[in-house]
Every structure is written in structure tokens, then in C-alpha cells.
Structure 1
Amino acid sequence: MSEQTDVDREAAMARETVLRPHRHLFLRGIVAVLALTTPVFAVLYWLTIPGPGWPYVLVAHLVVIGATVVGVASFLNTTIVLRPDGVRERGFFGRTVHVAPGEAGAVILVHVYESSTLEALPQLFVATGQGRLLIRMRGQFWSQADMERVAEELDVPVTRPEEPMTMNQLRRAWPRLLYWFERLRFAR
């Protein structure tokens, strides 16, 4: 009996697919932190090292390094896992959502225009039958292929508007799927 359980567990793990955000975002984030903090702290050290204030600069620098390490760890732990028992998302801030088979009532894959451009990026929304958002994948972070895999895994008919939408159109069509600040009229 124990051998069969181990075989079943290994078979389930073999069917597990882990999706991760675009890797280039990681490199861009690290470069941005270095580009912003290195000159600032270099000047602060230069100005304070002769005097008694440099330990405060060192503490501030260590706080920034610590926040960067936490951000890197959060990015590396952000995943969407496709498994036979459903889809599990671990978000950037550590929130974990599990969508069991049959729990998703709607899957919407829409292209949304970026602010003040003609470029449209895909967004995938997974919601309950009552319209409560479960998972959101935005094209800035996830590939369209990954979104298609999630939609296929959930086995729910996918709503695909033919034309890209503006944020205002998306807000009118599905307001409950947006973050609270995106529902405000003056937001993008």
C-alpha cells in the first residue's frame, strides 16, 4: 500500500507545471535598485565619513539592502502551479490562492490597452461563478502562453473579447475583477 501511495505521489508531481513571471523583470529591478541607490549612498558616505553621521548612512544602506533582498526573494517565490488538484498561485506579497477543479466559474482573457499607447497586453481573470476574483495574470508579468495554459487547466469556457479594451471599458464590463484603485474613475 505504501509503495502505491509513493508511486501515485510521484506521478502527481510529474504532472505538476510551475509557471513563473518574465525573468527580464528581475534583471530590470536589480539594475534599477543599483542605479538609484549606488550614487545616492556614494555621495552620502563621501559627505558623512569624516564626521560622526556615517553610521546612520550605513544603517539606512543596510535597510535598503534588506528591502532589496526581501523583494528578490518575493519575486523568486512568485509562481502559479498547475496540478491535478487545481491551480495554486503564490503572489509577490506571499498570498496563496488555490483554485480547485470546478471552483472557477468564469475565465476572461482580454487584451487591454496600456496607458496612452496603442500597445495592448493580455490579462487573464479567473473568477468564481458569483464574480469574485480568484487569480489575475497581467501581461506585464506573465506570458500569454502561460495564461493560455492556466485557462486550459481550469476547464471553463474562456470569454475572449474580439477587440482590445481600454481600462475604462474593462472597468464598465467587469468592475469586480479589478483592484480597488483601478475601479476609481480617474485611474488610468
Structure 2
Amino acid sequence: MNEQTGVHRDAGSTRETILRPHRHLFLRGIVAVLALTTPVFAVLYWLTIPVGCWPFVLVAHLIVIALTITGVASFLNTTIVVGPAGVRERGFFGRTVRVAPGEPGAVIMVKVYEGSTLDVLPQLFVASAEGRLLIRMRGQFWSSEDMERVAEELDVPVTRPAEPMTPAQLRQTWPRLLYWFERVRFAR
């Protein structure tokens, strides 16, 4: 078992590897929720307890707690399973995508500049033979090693541009592989 990437399962000759997003994202999310909600609810309780309308604040607080628990569960269930049957992705919102061996028409691994900096993060795109996006892995969430493992498992030649690309260059080169909101050009 590899602690960074996940769990290996052996079922006879079948071996699956479970890949998970960066764990530091989980801790950052929890800290952000606590940092934003604790002072707000402390002030709201302080202001509403004397006048007697604190039950409304309690209901709102319970709703925020329920949404946080849902977010934690979604994060913990986000996985990519790599094995002989192909690749299976369970996304943050619960959508499951299965990519069987031989189904992908292209695998593209590109380094993309982040914002207005010289920092680059890798992105992996798995597309069907028709050019439809099947799976996307972004460096903000997944390690380069995990992306390489997915690319290896699919047994399709990997396109690797020699130089990092800006988001605009990525949008020009492979617009169909981006989410709809990434295709929109904002006026500057």
C-alpha cells in the first residue's frame, strides 16, 4: 500500500489502485470553514440570546454544520480507481465516470501557467476518440505521479507539449477539453 496515493486491492490477479486528491486540501477546507463561521456565529449568538431569537441562529448554524459534513464526505469519497478494467473516477459531486481500456482516443498531459505567475501545474486530459472530455486531473488536486499512473493504465500515446501553456493557449488548442466557464474569454 502506498500511503500517498491510496490503497492497493488484490483480487486474484486483479489489482486496483485508489488515488485520492491532495490531503492538505482537506485540512485547508476545514480551517477555512472554522475561521469563517466561528466568529460570525459567536457574534450572532451574543446578539440574539438576550432578545430571545437565538433559535433562528441555531437553525442556521445546524444548516452550516450539515453542509460542512456533506462537503467533508464528498471530499473523502472523491477517488480515481486505476486497474485492469480501466479508470473509474468518482468526482466531488458524486458523478462517476468509467473509462474502459481502448475507449480513450487521446491522453494529453500539459503544464499550464497559473494566473500571472511563472508557476506551472500539470493537467491531464483523457478524451474520447470523438474529442469529448472523459476525465480531467488538475495539479491543484492531484499529484503528477497520480496523473502518470492514469496515463500508463490507459495505454494510449500521451501528447506532451514541450513548453508550458497559458490558459489562453490551452483554450485555443483544446477548447473542447475545458469546462464551459473556462472557454469564456473575459474582456480585459
TM range (shorter): over 0.9
Query: 2:11 — aligned with what?
Result: 10
Any idea what SS the aligned residue of 1:98 has?
Answer: strand
Gaps of 5+ in 2: 1-9
Supply the distance in 1 between the matched residues of 2:172 and 2:53 (Cα, whole angstroms): 54
Spell out, residue by residue over 1:27-74, the C-alpha distance to the aligned partner (whole angstroms, 9 max, x if none).
Answer: 000000000000000000000011121000000000000000000000
Alpha-carbon distance change, 147 to 184 in structure 1, aligned in 2, over 3 angstroms: same
State the shift of 1:89 in Å.
0.2
C-alpha separation in 1, matches of 2:89 and 2:38? 34
1:137 alignment partner in structure 2 = 137
Q: What CA distance in whole angstroms lies between the structure 1 residues aligned with 2:43 and 2:31? A: 19
Under a length normalisation based on structure 2, what TM-score does the superposition of the two structures give? Answer: 0.93
Instruction: Give the corresponding residue for 2:6.
Output: none
Give the distance between the partners of 2:76 and 2:40, measured in 1 at CA.
27
Quick check: 1:109 aligned with 2:117?
Answer: no
Alpha-carbon RMSD: 1.3
SS in 2 for 1:36: helix
Query: Residue type of the partner of 1:79?
Result: T
Distance 1:50 1:145 in 2: 56
SS of structure 1 residue aligned to 2:134: strand
The structure richer in helix per residue is 1
- Matched residue SS, 1:66: helix
Q: Report if the CA contact (8 A) 1:111-1:123 is conserved.
A: yes
Larger strand proportion of the pair = 2
Q: In structure 2, what residue type is equivalent to 1:186?
A: F
Q: How many residues are aligned here?
A: 179
Q: Give the unaligned 5+ runs of structure 1.
A: 1-8
TM-score, structure 1 normalization: 0.93
